[in-house]
Amino acid sequence: MPKDKVTVFTPVPLTINQKIRIEGTPRGGDWLVIGLSESKVRLKCPVSGREVEWARFCYQTEECLQEWPKQE
């Protein structure tokens, strides 16, 4: 059987108090993980203090050391 190029997305096992940066989407920016369930993630913006709860959607592409929150 021929092989095809396939992109595999793996969900990130998030933890409470984890600092994350989302790029390339309307949800983009720096967030602090403040709550988790099987299907939802609760995040807080470190700049505005805004809290949101979304269906889990985060997939890891890289991990690096950088300023957080990032000054734009």
Q: Which residue has the higher pLDDT, 41 or 25?
A: 41
User: Residue 56: beta bridge partners?
Assistant: none
- CA distances, 38 to each of 12, 41, 54, 55 (Å): 12, 8, 12, 9
Q: Residue 33: pLDDT band by 50, 70, 90 thresholds?
A: very high
Q: Residue 66 pLDDT more than 80? A: no
How many CA atoms does the CB half-sphere of 12 hold within 13 Å? 21
Pairing of strands 19-22, 51-55: unpaired
Above 70 in pLDDT, residue 72?
no
Which amino acid is present at 43?
A: L
Angle (nearest 5°) at CA 30 between 24 and 31: 115
Confidence of residue 31 (pLDDT cuts 50, 70, 90): very high
pLDDT band at 30 (very low <50, low <70, confident <90, very high): very high
